[in-house]
Structure 1
Amino acid sequence: MADDESFENLKAARKLLKASMEQSSALSSAINEVGLKVERMKERLPSLEAAIRPVGTRKCGLFAMRDQINGAIGPAAAVLKVYDVVRELENSLSFESCSDLHAYLSTMKRLEGALRFLAGSCLLVIPWLHDIVEFLEGDASANDQSLLNVKKALRILRVLRAIEGCARLDGGVLNAAFNKLETEFVSLLMENNATACIASSPLPVPVIQKLQAIVERLNAADRFEKCVLLYAGVRSLNARRSLQALDLNYLEIQVSEFDDMQSIDSYIEQWGEHLELVVKHFLEFEYKLCNSVFEKTESDAWKRCIARFAEEFRLVSLLEFGRSVTKIKKGPVKLLKLLDVFAVLENLRVNFNRLFGGEACGEIQNLTRDLIKKVVNGACEIFWELPSQVKLQGPFSSPSDGGIPGLVTFITNFYNQLLGEDYKPILIQVLQIHQSWKTDIHEDEDDLLLKQILSTMKEIGLNLDTWSKTYEDISLSYLFMMNNHCHFSQLKGTKLGEIMGNSWLGAHEQYKDYYAALYLRESWGKLLILLTQKGWISPPVGGATDYHQGSDDKKRLKAFNEAFDERYKKHSNWIISDDCLRQKVCQLLVQAVVPVYKSYMQKYGVLLQQDASARKYVKHTTQSLEKMLSSLFQPQRSKYCSTKHIRFIGKLKNVVTNQFRVTLTAM
C-alpha cells in the first residue's frame, strides 16, 4: 500500500519535471529570439542617436532662450515708458525759464533721474538681447527677419543708453539747462551788484538762497569750478566800480619822487583810510558774501575768490606804498609816520589773518610780513638814535632874536606827541616786538622809553648852554636862557612834563626868573644910571660925550635918549615867546624906567621954564616911553597874517627835520 503510493508520487514528479523542462526549453528559445532582436536594435542605436541629438538640443535651447526673452520683456517695456518720460521732461525743460527757479531745478532733477533710470534699464536689457542675437546667429533654421529685428532693437537700446552722456555735452538738453542755470547765477549777482552795500547781511536772504541752490546743483554736475570763476568775475566788476570812487593815483608815485617825509605825509593818512576801506569793508564784505553763497559746498572757494578780489582792489599796490614809506630818509617825523603805518596794519591784523591765510594769497602774506619787519626796525632805529642826533645839533647857530631854537620846540612837541594816547601804546608795542626778535636780555619797554627821553632832554640842555655862550651881547644870552627855561617850565600838564617830573619843572621855573632878573639888570639897569647918578658919567652908548650933571642937564637927557633909542632898536629885534612872560618883563621895564624918567622930567621942567631951547632935547613923553617899552619882544608872527604864520611854522619844521635827516643820514 505504501509502495503504491510512493510510485504514484514518483510518476507525478516525473511529469512535473518534464513539463518544467519543456517550459525552460520554450523560454530559452524566446530568450534567444529576444537576444537577436536586441542585437539588431543595438546595431541601429548609433544612427538613431545621431538623428535624434539635434532635435533634443534645439528643444533645450528653445527652453533656455524662453527665459532670456522673458527676462528682457519687462525691462524693455520699462525702457519704452522711461523714454517717453524723458522726452516729456526734455520738452518741458526747453520751454521753462529760471524765473521759477524751484520748479526749474525740480524739472532738471527729475530729468537727470529719468536719464539715469533709462541708462540703467538699457544696461539691463542689452546683455539679454545680445545673447538672443548670438543664439539666432548660430541657428541655421532661425528666421532672418527676427534676427534683424533683434539687432535693430539692440542698436536702439545702445543709443538710448548713451542719451544721458550726450545730454551733458554741447548741444545736449542737460548742458543747455546747466548753461541756463549759470546765466541765471550771473544775472542774480549782476542785479544785486548795484544794491549790495557794506552791511551785515550782504544780499537779501531769498537771493542768497537762490544762489546757494544753483551752486549746489552745478556742484553736483561737476561744474563747480566754472561757477566759482563766474562768481569771481562778476564780483570783480563790483570791485573795479568801488575803486573808481577812490583816488589811488599816489600809488603810482616812485620813492625817488618824494624829497622827504613832508612830501609824502599828506598821502599816508589817505593810504591808511584806503587800506582800511579795502580790507575791513570791501574784502570783508566779499568774504561774507562768498561764504554765504558757497556755504553748502563745504569748499575753500572763498580763498581763491578773495585772492582775485585783493588783486582787483590793488591790495599789493597799497602794501607796496607802505613799504615806500620805510624807504624815505630817516628823521623824527618818519618815526611818527612809521608808527601810523604800524597802527593801520595792527588794526587790520585780525582781518589779514582771516582773509589771506590761503596759499592763493602767498604774495600778500610775504609783502605784509616784510612791511611789518621794515616798519618795526625803521621806527626803533630812529628812536634809539634820537639823543645822539640832538647832540649833533650843537654846532648849529643859536637864534639871533634870543628866542627858542626850532630844535627845542620841535623836540618837546615831538615827545609830547609821541607820548600821547595816539602814539605811546603803538611805540611800546613796536619796542616789544623789536625786543622779541633779539636774543639778548629784554628790558621793560617803559624804562627804555624813559631812558631815551631823559637822555634826549639832557643833550638839549647841553646844547642850550653851548648856544648861550655864542652871543656877544650878554643881555641877549640872558634873554635866550630865560626864554628856554620858560618853555620848559610850561611843560607842566603835558605828557613830557609828567615824564620829567615836578622837580625838573620847578627848577626851570626858578631859572626863568633868575635869568629874567639878570637880563633886566644888565640891559636896562645901566640905562637908569644916566638919570640918577650925580657927577660925570660915561654913557654906555657910542656918540655920547662926557658931561657934568650939575652943569648940563640937557646933555644928560640927550645921552639918555640916545642910549634908550639904541637899546630899543636892538631889543625890538629880540623876542619873548611866551605872552605872559613878555607882559611881565615889559611891565617890570615900565615900572623900573618910567618912574625914574618921570621924576627926572619933572625936575627938567624947571629948566624948560628958564631956557626954551631945552625943549628940543625932550624926545619922549612918559606915555610914549611906556608905550614903547610895552611893545618890546613881540614875536615875528604877530607882524604877519595867519597864512604866513602857518608857512613859517611849516618852514621851521622842515628846517629842523632836514637837520635831523642830514645827521641821521651821515651816521
Structure 2
Amino acid sequence: MANLETLVAARKSLKLSLEKSKALGFALEKAGPRLDEIHQRLPSLEAAVRPIRAQKEALAAVGGHIDRAVGPAAAVLKVFDAVHGLEKSLLSDPRSDLGGYLSVLKRLEEALRFLADNCQLAIQWLEDIVEYLEDNAVADDRYISNLKKSLKSLKELQSDDERARLDGGLLDAALVKLENEFRRLLTENSVPLPMSSAASSEQQPCIAPSPLPVTVIQKLQPILDRLTANGRLERCMSIYVDVRSANVKASLQPLNLDYLEISISEFNDVQSIEGYISDWGKHLEFAVKHLYEAEYRLCNDVFEKMGPDVWMECFSKTVAQAGILAFLQFGKTVTESKKDPIKLLKLLDIFASLNKLRLDFNRLFGGKACAEIQTLTRDLIKAVIEGACEIFWELLVQVELQRQTQPPPNGSVPGLVSFITNYCNRLLGDDYRPILTQVLVIHRSWKKEKFQERLLTEAVLNIIKALELNLESWFKMYGDTTLSNLFMMNNHWHFYKHLKGTKLGELLGDAWLREHEQYKEYYATIYLRESWAKLPALLSREGLILFSGGRATARDLVKKRLKAFNEAFDEMYKKQSNWVVSEKDLREKTCQMVVQAIVPVYRSYMQNYGPLVEQDASASKYAKYTVQALENMLSSLFQQKLVKHGSAKTRHSNGKLNNVVANQICSAPAVM
C-alpha cells in the first residue's frame, strides 16, 4: 500500500515536472524573438548610456557647447521662417503698392543678408559640438557620422551658386517682377513726339516739356536702386535702351528716313539724291536738338545716382540704336560717291549742317561712352573737307580739259559756260563762300599751312580766265565765220548779263564787264555785216528807170534780182534757222537788227517794182514772200530747241547746269 502511494506521488511529481518543462519550453520559444530584438537594440542602448559612462568633466562641459550652438541656429531658423512669411507680398503685382513692395523687398534682402552671415556662424558652432562629442567619446560614431553629413550639406548651401536656395528663389522672382514694372512704366509713358504733316520741312513740331512725367521718374529711380543693389543694373540699362530707342524711332518715322540706308551702288551721282541731302540736314538737326537732347536729359534724370559713366553709356546706346549712326553713315556714303562739281555744293551743305550742330555734338556725344559716334563724326568731317577741297582745286583742270571738246553746232552758249558762271557765283555767294572758306582754312591747317582769302578769289578768277580761253579755242573750231561771230556774241552777252550785279561780277570788276558788253556789240556788228546785210544789195534799182517801151526790160531785171534775193535769202535762212541766241533780250534785238537790215529795203523795192511781176503768170516764183511773211520769218529766228542726248531731253539754258554738262565735267580724266 505504501509502495503504491509512493508510485502515485512519483507519478504526479513527474507529470507536474513534465508540464513545467513544457511551459518553460513554450516560454523559451516565445522569448526568442524578443531576445533578438533586445540584441539588436543593445548598440543604441549602449550609445544612450555612453554619456553616463563618459567622464564626468566631459559630461559637465557638453551643456555649454550645446547652448552656444543652439542659440544662433534657433535665430537662423526664426529668420528663415520670417522669409517665407514675405512670400505672399512679394509674389503680388508691384504696381498696386510700389512703395510697400519695395519696403518688403528690402526686408527680404536684410533677412537674406542675416541668413548669409549667420548660417556660417551657426554651422561653425555645430561643428564645434560634433568635434567635442567625437573627441570625448560622448556620442556614438554613427551618430557623429550622420551629423557630419548634415553639416557638409549646410556648407554646400552657403556657396555663391546655391545661396538662392535660402529663400527658395523668392528674391529672383521679386526682382523679375520689378524688372517688368520698370519696363511697364517706361513703355506706357514713352510716347512718340506729335508730328504735324509739315514738321519734316518748315514747321517745328510740338515738343513736350519733359520726355517722362516727374512722377514716373520718381518711381523708376527706387526700382533702379533695388535692382542695382542686386546686381541687375546691366539688365535695367538694356530694358531702358530698348524702350527709349524704340520711342525715338517712332518719333522719326513720319520723316520717312528710308533714304539713310541707301548705298553707293543705289545712285549714280549726287544730283540723283540732292533732295535727300537737303532733307538730311533738316532731319539731323531735328533729331539732335529735340529727340537726342531729350534723351540726354532723361538718361541723366533716371540714372543720375548711378554716376555719369552709367547714364552716358545708357544714352550712347539709346541714340546709337535710335538712328544717329545711320545719319552719319549716310553722310559718309555721299562722300564716297562719284566726284562732280555739284557734289562740292552738297559736301558744303553737309559741312554746314554738322558745323551748325558742332556745339550740340560736343556736349551730347563728348563722353568716352560715345567713342563710336565721335569716331564716325570725325571721319565724316574729314571726308567732307578733303572731298570738297579736292573738287574745288580740280575745277580749273576740269575746265581746261573741256577746251578740246567741240562747241555747240548751233552757236549757243555752251553748257559749261552757263554752268561755271552760275557755279562760281554760288561759291562766292553769301550761302557758300563762308562755308567754303572755313573748309579751306581747316584743310590748310591740317597741312600746317595758313589760308589767305586771296587764294579763293584767285582760284575763281583763274577758272573764269580758263573759260575765256576755252571760248577763243572754240571760236576757231567753227568752219563758218558767221556762226563763230554769233557764238562769240552769245557768250560775251552771257558774261555781261549774268555776272553784272553778282558777287562774281564784283570780283571781275566793271571794266571786265564793259569789255564783254563791247565785245558783244563788236561781234554782233560783224555777224550782221557778213550775213544778212549782204542781201539788200541784191535788190539794186540800177537800170530800172521806166521809159515808154522799156517795161519788158525792167520786168526782166526785177525778176532776175528777186530770184537772186530769194535764193540767197532761202539759203541763209535755212542755214541759220537752226542757230540759237540763248538770251531772249539778245535774240529779240538780233532779230530786230536783221529785220531792220532787210525788211524796209524789201518793202520799198516791192512797192516800187512788185507790180512789174505780180501780173505775170509766174509771179509767185519771183514775188515769193510778202513783206509780212518775210518779217515773221526773220523775227522767229534763233529760237531755242529741245535736243536729245541719249534717252534724255535737255534745253540749253542760260544759267543752270544740265545733266549732260555735269557728266562731261565729272567724266573728264583728272590730272595727277
- State whether TM-score is above 0.5: yes
| Letter of the structure 1 residue corresponding to residue 495 of structure 2 | F
Q: Deviations over 1:407-432 (max 9, x none)?
A: 10111121222233332222111101
| Aligned pairs (5 A) from 1:631-646 | 631-637=636-642
| Aligned pairs (5 A) from 1:203-282 | 203-238=212-247, 246=256, 248=258, 251=261, 253-255=263-265, 258-263=267-272, 265=274, 267-269=276-278, 271-272=280-281, 275-276=284-285, 279-282=288-291
Check whether the contact 2:351–2:384 (CA below 8 A) recurs between aligned residues: yes
Check whether the contact 2:348–2:388 (CA below 8 A) recurs between aligned residues: yes
Q: Tell me which residue corresponds to 1:448.
A: 455
Q: Tell me which residue corresponds to 1:44.
A: none
Q: Tell me which residue corresponds to 1:175.
A: 172
Secondary structure class of the residue paired with 1:402: coil
Q: Tell me which residue corresponds to 2:306.
A: 297
1:598 aligns with 2:603: yes
Q: Tell me which residue corresponds to 2:26.
A: none
How many pairs align? 585
Match of 1:98 among 81, 95, 99: 95
Indicate the larger mover: 222-231 or 166-175: 166-175
| Aligned pairs (5 A) from 1:263-662 | 263=272, 265=274, 267-269=276-278, 271-272=280-281, 275-276=284-285, 279-313=288-322, 315-316=324-325, 318-439=327-448, 441-444=449-452, 446-490=453-497, 491-532=499-540, 534=542, 552-605=557-610, 607-608=612-613, 614=619, 616-637=621-642, 653-662=658-667
Change (3 A) 1:352 1:291: same
Q: Deviations over 1:549-587 (max 9, x none)?
A: 897122112211222222222222111111111112222
| Structure 1 residue 516, shift from structure 2 partner | 1.9
d(CA) in 2 for partners of 1:242, 1:463:
53
| Structure 1 residue 433, shift from structure 2 partner | 0.7
d(CA) in 2 for partners of 1:168, 1:227:
24
What RMSD over aligned residues (CA atoms) do the two structures have, in Å? 4.5
Change (3 A) 1:74 1:463: same
| Structure 1 residue 508, shift from structure 2 partner | 1.8
d(CA) in 2 for partners of 1:549, 1:456:
61
| Structure 1 residue 313, shift from structure 2 partner | 4.1
Indicate the larger mover: 355-364 or 187-196: 355-364
| Letter of the structure 1 residue corresponding to residue 350 of structure 2 | V
d(CA) in 1 for partners of 2:613, 2:133:
161
| Structure 1 residue 465, shift from structure 2 partner | 1.4
d(CA) in 1 for partners of 2:571, 2:431:
50
| Letter of the structure 2 residue corresponding to residue 368 of structure 1 | T
Gaps spanning 5+ residues in structure 2: where? 1-54, 195-206, 545-552
Change (3 A) 1:649 1:262: farther
| Structure 1 residue 474, shift from structure 2 partner | 2.2
Change (3 A) 1:193 1:443: closer
Q: Tell me which residue corresponds to 2:182.
A: 185
Check whether the contact 2:335–2:347 (CA below 8 A) recurs between aligned residues: yes
Q: Tell me which residue corresponds to 2:51.
A: none
Name the larger-Rg structure. 1
| Structure 1 residue 488, shift from structure 2 partner | 0.9
| Structure 1 residue 266, shift from structure 2 partner | 5.4
Indicate the larger mover: 485-494 or 420-429: 420-429
Indicate the larger mover: 124-133 or 331-340: 124-133
d(CA) in 1 for partners of 2:415, 2:193:
52
Check whether the contact 1:169–1:175 (CA below 8 A) recurs between aligned residues: no
| Letter of the structure 2 residue corresponding to residue 206 of structure 1 | T
Change (3 A) 1:666 1:182: same
Check whether the contact 1:331–1:382 (CA below 8 A) recurs between aligned residues: yes
d(CA) in 1 for partners of 2:118, 2:239:
37
Indicate the larger mover: 323-332 or 403-412: 323-332
Check whether the contact 1:339–1:379 (CA below 8 A) recurs between aligned residues: yes
Q: Deviations over 1:354-402 (max 9, x none)?
A: 4444555444433332332222122112211212221221111111111
Q: Deviations over 1:443-473 (max 9, x none)?
A: 32x3122111110111111111121122233
| Structure 1 residue 531, shift from structure 2 partner | 2.1
Indicate the larger mover: 225-234 or 650-659: 650-659
| Letter of the structure 1 residue corresponding to residue 571 of structure 2 | E
Q: Tell me which residue corresponds to 2:12.
A: none
d(CA) in 2 for partners of 1:414, 1:394:
18
d(CA) in 1 for partners of 2:132, 2:614:
163
Change (3 A) 1:479 1:400: same
Change (3 A) 1:631 1:654: same
d(CA) in 1 for partners of 2:608, 2:475:
41
d(CA) in 2 for partners of 1:328, 1:143:
90
Change (3 A) 1:472 1:434: same
Q: Deviations over 1:252-309 (max 9, x none)?
A: 5344x64444445455445555655655555444333322221222242234334434
Check whether the contact 2:389–2:443 (CA below 8 A) recurs between aligned residues: yes
| Letter of the structure 1 residue corresponding to residue 529 of structure 2 | R
Check whether the contact 1:199–1:285 (CA below 8 A) recurs between aligned residues: no
| Structure 1 residue 655, shift from structure 2 partner | 2.4
Check whether the contact 2:475–2:487 (CA below 8 A) recurs between aligned residues: yes
| Letter of the structure 2 residue corresponding to residue 429 of structure 1 | Q
d(CA) in 1 for partners of 2:318, 2:403:
53
| Letter of the structure 2 residue corresponding to residue 182 of structure 1 | E
Check whether the contact 1:232–1:308 (CA below 8 A) recurs between aligned residues: yes
Change (3 A) 1:654 1:90: same
| Structure 1 residue 644, shift from structure 2 partner | 5.2
Check whether the contact 2:260–2:326 (CA below 8 A) recurs between aligned residues: no
Check whether the contact 1:398–1:405 (CA below 8 A) recurs between aligned residues: yes
Q: Deviations over 1:304-339 (max 9, x none)?
A: 334434553465455444333333333212222222
| Structure 1 residue 504, shift from structure 2 partner | 2.0
| Letter of the structure 1 residue corresponding to residue 455 of structure 2 | L
d(CA) in 1 for partners of 2:128, 2:400:
105
Check whether the contact 1:90–1:111 (CA below 8 A) recurs between aligned residues: no
Identity of aligned residues (%): 56
Q: Deviations over 1:121-154 (max 9, x none)?
A: 88999999999999999999x999xxx9xx9xx9
d(CA) in 1 for partners of 2:465, 2:476:
17
Secondary structure class of the residue paired with 1:602: helix
| Letter of the structure 1 residue corresponding to residue 299 of structure 2 | C
| Aligned pairs (5 A) from 1:107-118 | 107-113=104-110
d(CA) in 2 for partners of 1:645, 1:658:
13
d(CA) in 1 for partners of 2:607, 2:91:
120
d(CA) in 2 for partners of 1:665, 1:384:
11
| Letter of the structure 2 residue corresponding to residue 534 of structure 1 | E
Change (3 A) 1:102 1:501: farther
| Structure 1 residue 604, shift from structure 2 partner | 0.7
d(CA) in 2 for partners of 1:505, 1:218:
77
Check whether the contact 1:170–1:176 (CA below 8 A) recurs between aligned residues: no
Change (3 A) 1:517 1:76: same
